[in-house]
Amino acid sequence: MKKLTAYWHRLTLKRKWALTSASVLFISFALVCVILYIAINSWLLNEEKTSVTRSMDDLTAFFETRGSNLTINEMQHNTGLMNSIVDKDQTVRILNTDGIEILRLNNTSEEIPDLPQNIPLKGYTIQQVKVDGADSFVAIGHLRLGNFDGYLQLTHPLTSLASLMKYILTSMLLMGLIALIASWFISSALATLLLQPLKRLSSDMKRVAAHRFEAPIQVTVDSQDEIGDLVKVYKQMMTELESAFLQQQRFISDASHELRTPIQVLEGHLSMIQRWGKDDPEVLNESLMTSIDEVRRMKQLIEELLELARHEAKDISQGAIVAEQTEIVMKEMKTIAPNAEINLHYNEDFHNVRVMISENAYRQILHNILQNAVRYTSSIPSINIYLTFDLNNCTIVIEDNGIGMSPESLEHIFERFYRVDKARSREHGGTGLGLSIVKMLIDKYDGTLEVSSALNEGTTFTIHLPLFLVQESI
């Protein structure tokens, strides 16, 4: 059994499929043949028994009609009865009470069957016994002709039935062999046809793995069955894996590129302190302050890079109350930029509106936009926030009076490390990742973001987030 199991595991899916299909088809065909064989045999056997019954009825009626006046000539001249006996290869015997043969008609069987134990006084009994080594029906009943008292015995050989059933069995076995061979070839062809998409899928997976996600996915399946679903899932999975792989590469590239500058600054100041700054308190203090600023900048940069690299699941179990969370962010910004004027506008019916986004994600989006509004301005920051909603979405509009952006800059503001004003951004500790995180979070929660801006006039961010709808129980 273990060898058979090991052999089965070594077979290809195509051979397993073909072998299983062929076996099922052959077993089904064999069962049908067995049932047909038994049914035909039973039906033919019943027909033979009916023939014996008719012959026995005719003989009994003939002898009872003639009675003691019956002669051999009368029996020979009854051509209908004699022809029937001869055509059916039947043997008719008249036996005395001791079982000794008195008369025989149509000598087709030499052996005289034994008399049964219980022979009915009226009518006859039919048994299936071996006569001359062959199956036969033997009918026997009492016979009274004048003073003669004996038995009427009819032997009906089943050789014709046996020959016919042997022919049918041979034909079924031959057809079964042909069906087995045909089912194997049909199953193999069908397995080859049905497994072609899986074979292409396997080849495509090996090719993509060999090229480390650089090769495009080429496998296509038009069918709407389980294999088609598998290919769709594979494509979706490979797209996500490719995205994660590219995101990892981008993270490493971005981190190495952006961390190089603060590390070089740290290295320069530490080298300066080592050479001669440790004896000069003013130089030492300036270098330490600069180093601390660069360390903070590296910490912020790493945190924001990690935020972009994360693939956390959506957290919309409770949703975020927009007005409440907006006021929290405004208080934080007042602490960071006390001179900034931040105004919130919404109607009374907006107070408890929730959106399908986590509170942390919403605060981070709003914080990054407000931080940019405060950072990129040449005067006292003036920011207005408008909150509205309709049947499906909540709209958050943020307007500022900053330096604005040119149309060329608008096309790149969501790219990583892009800065409209590099000097101002570095002066205020910007990393160039804030709006990238905003765009990533809004896309993650199925929202949309629109930006309009004009140089020296200001910028407007318009955010649309789906409403959090609570299903009330009926």
pLDDT digits (tens, 9 = 90+) for 178-198: 888 888 888 788 777 777 777
pLDDT digits (tens, 9 = 90+) for 270-285: 787 777 666 777 777 8
Backbone angles phi, psi at 338, to 5 degrees: -65, -20
The per-residue pLDDT for 71 is 62
pTM to 2 decimal places:
0.47
CATH architecture of 320-466: 2-Layer Sandwich (3.30)
* Domain regions of the chain by residue span: 226-309, 320-466
pLDDT digits (tens, 9 = 90+) for 381-403: 999 999 999 989 999 999 999 88
Among 72-76, 146-150, 329-333, 343-347, where is mean pLDDT lowest? 72-76
pLDDT: which is higher, 359 or 200? 359
Q: What angle do CA 469, 472, 474 make, to 5 degrees?
A: 150
Contact indicator for 367, 329 with CB cutoff of 8 Å:
yes
The per-residue pLDDT for 274 is 74
| Cβ neighbours, 10 Å, residue 379 | 8
pLDDT: which is higher, 289 or 442? 442
pLDDT digits (tens, 9 = 90+) for 63-84: 777 766 666 666 666 667 778 8
Residue 135 CB-density burial (10 A; 0-12 exposed, 13-18 middle, 19+ buried):
middle
Q: Report CA torsion sign: 301, 302, 308, 313.
A: negative
Average pLDDT of the chain to the nearest whole number: 81
Alpha helices for 278-391 (secondary structure H):
281-309, 322-336, 359-375
The per-residue pLDDT for 50 is 93
The per-residue pLDDT for 277 is 63
State the angle between helix axes of 159-210 and 226-275 in degrees (0 to 180), rounded to the nearest 10: 20
Q: What angle do CA 409, 413, 415 make, to 5 degrees?
A: 125
Element (H, E) at 59: helix 13-66
Element (H, E) at 85: helix 79-87
Which amino acid type is present at position 30? A
Q: Report CA torsion sign: 84, 90, 95, 101.
A: positive
The per-residue pLDDT for 471 is 44
Under CATH, which number does the domain 226-309 receive?
1.10.287.130
